[in-house]
Amino acid sequence: METATPGVKSTQDGWLNRCVRERARTPSPDAAATPFRAVALTTQMPRILQGTAPAVAMNQIGQFGIRAGEASGAAQSSFESEYTAAADAVLSATGREAFDAIRLLEQADPGRYEPAGGVAYPRSVFGQALKQIAQLVKADVGLEIAFAESSGWDHHVNEGAATGQIATRLDDLARGVAALAADLGDRLDDVVILTMSEFGRAVAENGNRGTDHGHANAMMVIGGPVRGGKVYGTWPGLEVEQRFERRDLAVTTDFRDVFGEVVVRHLGVKDAASIFPGFAIREQNFQGFVRL
């Protein structure tokens, strides 16, 4: 799902990186290219944003830059001079981009950020990542695409129902997304939040009071351009004969049609062929959840 080329394991880049690259080719008149067009609030660059288009991965906004204690300023100046003087043109350009990003973030000063009144993000890694995405949005650093991940879903025993492992993970996800939406306020009018997961859960409970990996799942979408309040797609049913291989919820919608609707209708990419190679994005396949 991160490469958006199912069945092709040789794909080197992610579909969001290809989206950044395509948008850069036909930039919007009101969008300026900045180092923070695409940001992952993760310790490493996720597969979905890997590729030739510039993207930034950072675990903590406050730690983005040269970390050398009280000597941070001097160290940054020294490194910047060395990169500028580098004979290698690629190295020099990459270094310049990095230090431009550091200065832009310093000017925005998102470290002093306070969420909108009454908004409380979960203290989890996921919740704090969403808080930092809100910081970057409100700092006007040119953010177009942001990525955060919620981990800890790969469990098969004692999942529980209203309480337990699965409820805890769902609660963190729900409270995090709700906090981000509330914190963005009017800015949510131009934001689409989309969730994705590479696997669902089996329909039936296993012998360990849990569920195993399944086939189809649900994607959730929220934002100003979204026609919300309903379930889109075809419901296949849960009867045994309606299940995939008599076990799992059946897939009825290609996930690339969901991605494509956001890419084309919200992000304004005219031709998504290069973003989803080998797959035809057709307007008639869209569910219509993104307003034109």
pLDDT digits (tens, 9 = 90+) for 219-257: 999 999 999 999 999 999 999 999 999 999 999 999 999
CB atoms within 10 A of CB 259: 23
Entry pTM: 0.85
Cα 16-266-196 angle, rounded to 5 deg: 50
More confident residue, 114 or 63: 114
Please check the confidence at residue 85 and state whether its pLDDT lies above 70. no
Cα separation, 191 vs 22, in Å, equals 19
Widest pairwise Cα distance in the chain: 68
pLDDT digits (tens, 9 = 90+) for 91-129: 444 445 555 666 667 766 666 789 998 899 999 999 999
Cα 123-124-127 angle, rounded to 5 deg: 80
Please check the confidence at residue 70 and state whether its pLDDT lies above 50. no
* Mean pLDDT for the stretch of residues 75-91: 46
Cα 69-71-77 angle, rounded to 5 deg: 130
Closest CA to 228 of 200, 184, 191, 255: 191
- Are the CB atoms for 23 and 267 separated by under 8 Å? yes
Residue 5: pLDDT band (50, 70, 90) is very high
Please check the confidence at residue 65 and state whether its pLDDT lies above 80. no
Task: Indicate if the alpha-carbon torsion angle 212, 166, 161, 201 is positive or negative.
Answer: negative
Rounded to the nearest angstrom, the gap between the alpha carbon of residue 209 and the centroid of all alpha carbons in its chain is 31
Cα 18-19-24 angle, rounded to 5 deg: 100
pLDDT at 130: 97
Q: How do strand 56-57 and strand 145-147 relate by DSSP bridges?
A: unpaired
pLDDT digits (tens, 9 = 90+) for 173-226: 999 999 999 999 999 999 999 999 988 899 999 999 999 999 999 999 999 999
Please check the confidence at residue 43 and state whether its pLDDT lies above 50. yes
Cα separations (Å) of 3 from 11, 30, 49, 218? 7, 29, 9, 19
Cα 256-285-231 angle, rounded to 5 deg: 85
Residue 60: pLDDT band (50, 70, 90) is confident
Position of tokens 């675990």?
59
As given in the structure block, the two tokens for residue 234 are 């075809």
The mean of the pLDDT values for the chain is: 85
Please check the confidence at residue 78 and state whether its pLDDT lies above 50. no
pLDDT at 252: 94
pLDDT at 91: 43
Query: Exposed (0-12), middle (13-18) or buried (19+): which is 156, by Cβ within 10 Å?
Result: middle
pLDDT at 28: 63
AA identity, residue 61: I
Contacts 24+ apart (CB under 8 A), 263-270: 263/19, 265/225, 265/290, 265/291, 265/292, 266/192, 266/225, 266/290, 267/19, 267/23, 267/144, 268/23, 268/28, 269/19, 269/22, 269/23, 269/26, 270/26
Cα separation, 209 vs 157, in Å, equals 5
